[in-house]
Amino acid sequence: MRELFTRFREADPEPKGELEHSNPFTLLVAVVLSAQATDKGVNIATRPLFAVADTPQKMLALGEDAVREAIKTIGLFRNKAKNVIALSRKLIDEFGGEVPDSREALETLPGVGRKTANVVLNTAFGRPTIAVDTHLYRVSHRLPLAPGKTPLDVELGLEKAVPEEFRLHAHHWLILHGRYVCKARKPDCPRCIVSDICRFEPKTLPGQSPPPGADPEDAPLQE
């Protein structure tokens, strides 16, 4: 475990999430919008949105119809627009317009589950939380690191297994590794910096793919 994360740290000492944001509120909204959507697609939609609404007050003033129009290219945009307005209102009414820095408080906000709360706590507040998305879930099982039947199993397993010095950045390293190297249908094993300590079989060789059924396409993980 220590060798694996040492290599990740040497390759990318300060990994960052790919959702564009300017403050904890825009980060929160971006993560809510990213459920079952790509970061790239969310960024395209939120650039003009955040240019005019980067606080709960401005978002609430914009209104649900305008938010829905702004994010209509994102999956589930109608329900997400409703949640963005509702969470903005709740932040104003109950939290003084500020994003709270506790998981319990974050999970009371509309559209926010444990995974979203963990991303916000980690990225906005520097907490060593681990947000398990579909990429991290896959990588954790393939290496394997902390296999589990649910995202929560994997999260709790990693919290125990990852050495403390790596915990702050652990989920970013694993997510990015799963997104760009240890991909679902064709993992790029020749480019993997931990392939020699990974126990996933069959590894891909140049020009080859795993046989059918070796590792099916990821199912979206729910909050």
133 assigned to active site: yes
Whole-number Å distance between alpha carbons of 69 and 66: 5
In the set 39, 65, 82, 115, the catalytic residue is 115
- CA angle 104/40/186 to nearest 5° reads 100
90 assigned to active site: no
Q: How many CB atoms lie within 10 A of CB 178?
A: 22
Whole-number Å distance between alpha carbons of 131 and 122: 9
DSSP state of 162: S
Distance of CA 137 to the CA centre of its chain: 11
198 marked among binding-site residues: yes
182 marked among binding-site residues: yes
75 marked among binding-site residues: no
Amino acid at site 36:
Q
In the set 16, 39, 133, 160, the catalytic residue is 133
- Judge contact between 14 and 202, C-beta under 8 A: no
188 marked among binding-site residues: no
Q: Which residues contribute to the annotated binding site?
A: 182, 189, 192, 198
Active-site residue list: 115, 133
Q: Which residues contribute to the annotated binding site for [4Fe-4S] cluster?
A: 182, 189, 192, 198
